[in-house]
Chain A
């Protein structure tokens, strides 16, 4: 087995990135004009990378599946973005942000990457302000901060409850400027369906034009995948309906390792599931945990009465409420990291204390905050979130506590990348949520925006040059090369196969079934038997899909069912890989909780001696099991501990 080389630079932690930049190869301006780069995706990572690369002089081809780059799902991030500015004078520093992120990720991330992330975080805020992002400000005119889970300092910058929107629109405006200047060619309503390799290097993609239904070929010197995560495998998640793992999955099938697929984040504060027709789950920002207190009834009979609709939460006396996060984790209270908060909610509901008519909900209560700060302040801070909640649930959260429950939110796992964000396929890069790199086994709140923009603005535009510096002699490719023809033919065959099934079931109905299997067996708590069962069920579902799916319409035409079917085919396979990875990882860490491995108090129990590595899965073919390679995680600088949010 070839050992996996992460290409982490040598030297002290704080100097690695500087040393790298000092010695990396660069491409001179005249040569940049001769190089084409494909960027797939227009979220925070994709848009910022495409814009930055174009500003530097590269020719960029940028793809998005929506009708506009501004629709990418980064836009839905609510709470904020972390940076180690220490504007609040509360003792923050690059090291502390690095440390919190490493610890929050349960010591399963690469130290050097995380340190670099913390280092560039400050530049991101500067960049966004310069673009005209209207961050929240104090009366003195300076930037305001709020606190987020897993940190004891206030380092989160925000723009009301729409931080992701504002940051994305900042990146989108930078991208739009380059499109206007002709340096970026935008392909909207185009979905990448394959990556094309020539002589072992990524040299282009096949994309399906979603309006015409035609397959189109695009060639370039390098390909950057910024297509987000794969948690829609679970059908119900906080991701957008179109979010999918297919682009990353095609990279995997072309030889890129898929790393840590079992690490998915379940966000504790989402609006609970409500019925069979439900198509997605709505997140309530983590920032709500700044002022909201989470509780369930302390007495089972109260919980039962609430579920039966006989009692209202406001009727339960203070002493009969169990503020279980404050009880279990006095030091961090309601601001424990997401994985901890989610599991604690599940624990209470499993024990019979859940509320709502399903018993699958807990309360997030603002009555204390309203008494302490006044309704006005609460409204100012969270007004739009409260309004959103009321529109969906038809209850006024100023009067009755909100009901929340954990939901799938983010994929920490993804395409394996080295320090340069290059996958194991030369010339193929992955950034943002699509890669695995910075969050370990659990992501802290307000870090996804940070990572997406760090990759896109400040990391990839440097590291990609180290690769491209050797490519300046390579002339532009023709997309008529046999490799492209072959790739297109394979996709066409797959589409034809799907269209020919003509079964009875809609794509969504199979996807919902996939979601149930995933949630049941590969959800918040996993065990060996359940995972084996999941592998079996997924195998059956795959057969069912390929023999009984029904796709109306024509394949060479706008065909939404076909789009969904192509994605679902990959989701089922991603689910299988998640099951394999979860089975392999016999420990509990971050978002991956194996019931066999927990402390007597029910906390996650890592097995550092056996599993201190990144699982990198290598595709072997459709009928063969994938092979797992290990990237050992050497903790040179941080001492690993049992995560403790109690004191």
Chain B
């Protein structure tokens, strides 16, 4: 049963990208275990505002685990210790009375800190802009049922497409690699006939962009898939490798 707990928070505070940051410690009493982690931070901010201090900045929006805006590295895990959830779906019942909770921003060269726990993940958008699409304009497309697609492929594509672009994969990776993110998009589109047509162009462009942005090289530790809130599988990375190698060999 949910009860109220007292916790100690160690939160990373950093005024700006260039400034030095440090941990601040806050005590929070009577936190309902039924509340979500972000609701707990709301309570903390309410308390800080009452004390005349600046609230902790953190990204969040939908609070139902789909927009991918929330981040936070909680007690050594992106999106906290629960599995298959984002931080906004993490509930305080995962923590016990008297716990000390350390909250850090995503740390990866690709994700510079903007303020406190907020980071800039625009690099992921840039990778999509490099090729994560099917080049069709609006209108003039065939009927939706013109090309049958096997249920298996459609389901696999959907598994990959479940990625929310939150950045947990790169944040979890000791190499700062964005391969899981890219592989999800490459897989989704490579599995569908609509995306197949420009599959090799896409994979080359996206990998080139990823390298240009300075993300690391995958060493298959699997931290990304374990921490991924949508449980995107590293079998997508294998497919990405395959697609890329074949595309390059065809050149």
Is B one of A's binding partners?
Answer: yes
A interface vs B, CB < 8 Å? 48, 51-52, 55, 66-73, 75-76, 85, 87, 123, 125-132, 134-143, 159-160, 162, 164-166, 169, 172-174, 176-177, 179-180, 188, 211, 238, 240-242, 274-275, 277-280, 282-283, 387-388, 391-392, 394, 457-458, 461, 506, 508-509, 550, 552-553, 558, 560-561
In the complex, what residue of chain A is closest to B190 when comparing beta carbons? A132
Chain A residues whose CB sits within 8 angstroms of the CB of B118 once the complex forms:
558
Q: Are A138 and B151 neighbours in the complex by a CB distance under 8 Å? A: yes
Q: Are A134 and B82 neighbours in the complex by a CB distance under 8 Å? A: no
Q: Report which of B42, B124, B134, B165 forms a contact with A132, defined as CB distance below 8 A.
A: B134
Q: Report which of A66, A68, A125, A132 forms a contact with B192, defined as CB distance below 8 A.
A: A132
Instruction: Please give me the 4 A-B residue pairs with the lowest Cβ-Cβ distance, nearest first.
Output: A141-B148, A173-B133, A180-B129, A130-B141
Chain A CB within 8 A of B110 CB = no
Give how many A-B residue pairs fall within 8 Å (CB-CB). 215
Q: Report which of B39, B50, B148 forms a contact with A277, defined as CB distance below 8 A.
A: B39
Q: Are B142 and A130 neighbours in the complex by a CB distance under 8 Å? A: yes
Contact with A along B123-164 (1 / 0, CB 8 A): 011001111111111110111110011110011011001101
Q: Decide yes or no: A277 and B144 within 8 Å by CB, A66-B69, A130-B134, A137-B151 being known contacts.
A: no
Q: Decide yes or no: A71 and B61 within 8 Å by CB, A51-B138, A141-B150, A277-B43 being known contacts.
A: yes
- Tell me the minimal C-beta distance from A245 to chain B in angstroms: 16
Q: Are A176 and B133 neighbours in the complex by a CB distance under 8 Å? A: yes
Q: Which of these binds chain A: B84-92, B96-104, B216-224, B232-240?
A: B84-92
Chain A CB within 8 A of B6 CB = no
Q: Decide yes or no: A277 and B132 within 8 Å by CB, A130-B194, A242-B61, A394-B2 being known contacts.
A: no
Alpha-carbon distance A461/B137, docked complex (angstroms):
12
Q: Are A137 and B50 neighbours in the complex by a CB distance under 8 Å? A: no
Q: Which of A51, A129, A176 has the most CB of B within 10 A?
A: A129
Q: Decide yes or no: A140 and B148 within 8 Å by CB, A73-B67, A134-B161, A278-B39 being known contacts.
A: yes
Chain A CB within 8 A of B249 CB = no
Q: Are A76 and B67 neighbours in the complex by a CB distance under 8 Å? A: yes
In the complex, what residue of chain A is closest to B124 when comparing beta carbons? A68
Q: Are B129 and A461 neighbours in the complex by a CB distance under 8 Å? A: no
Alpha-carbon distance A52/B157, docked complex (angstroms):
25
Alpha-carbon distance A282/B39, docked complex (angstroms):
14
Q: Decide yes or no: A177 and B55 within 8 Å by CB, A132-B188, A137-B151, A166-B161 being known contacts.
A: no
Alpha-carbon distance A282/B67, docked complex (angstroms):
13
Alpha-carbon distance A560/B116, docked complex (angstroms):
12
Q: Decide yes or no: A165 and B144 within 8 Å by CB, A180-B130, A240-B67, A280-B63 being known contacts.
A: no
- Tell me the minimal C-beta distance from A564 to chain B in angstroms: 10
Alpha-carbon distance A392/B130, docked complex (angstroms):
37
19 contacts between A and B (CB under 8 A): A48-B138, A52-B138, A55-B138, A68-B121, A71-B62, A73-B61, A75-B68, A126-B144, A130-B141, A132-B157, A132-B189, A132-B194, A240-B61, A242-B61, A278-B35, A394-B91, A552-B48, A552-B54, A560-B55
- Tell me the minimal C-beta distance from A82 to chain B in angstroms: 14
Chain A CB within 8 A of B177 CB = no
Alpha-carbon distance A68/B188, docked complex (angstroms):
20
Which residues of B (151-185) have their CB < 8 Å from a CB of A?
A: 151, 154-155, 157-158, 161-162, 164-165
Q: Report which of B2, B59, B145, B194 forms a contact with A131, defined as CB distance below 8 A.
A: B194
Q: Decide yes or no: A66 and B61 within 8 Å by CB, A76-B66, A162-B66, A394-B2 being known contacts.
A: yes
Q: Report which of B43, B49, B142, B158 forms a contact with A552, defined as CB distance below 8 A.
A: B49
Given contacts A160-B158, A166-B158, A552-B53, 14 further A-B contacts (CB under 8 A): A76-B62, A130-B142, A134-B188, A135-B154, A137-B151, A162-B162, A165-B162, A173-B134, A241-B61, A274-B34, A387-B84, A392-B36, A458-B139, A553-B54
Q: Which of A73, A130, A211 has the most CB of B within 10 A?
A: A130
Alpha-carbon distance A137/B191, docked complex (angstroms):
14
Chain A residues whose CB sits within 8 angstroms of the CB of B57 once the complex forms:
558, 560
- Tell me the minimal C-beta distance from A164 to chain B in angstroms: 8
Alpha-carbon distance A275/B93, docked complex (angstroms):
14
Alpha-carbon distance A51/B124, docked complex (angstroms):
19
Alpha-carbon distance A558/B58, docked complex (angstroms):
11
Q: Are A67 and B192 neighbours in the complex by a CB distance under 8 Å? A: no
Alpha-carbon distance A73/B157, docked complex (angstroms):
22
Q: Decide yes or no: A127 and B34 within 8 Å by CB, A76-B67, A392-B89 being known contacts.
A: no
Alpha-carbon distance A328/B49, docked complex (angstroms):
50
Q: Are B61 and A391 neighbours in the complex by a CB distance under 8 Å? A: no
Chain A CB within 8 A of B211 CB = no
Alpha-carbon distance A282/B121, docked complex (angstroms):
26
Alpha-carbon distance A136/B62, docked complex (angstroms):
24
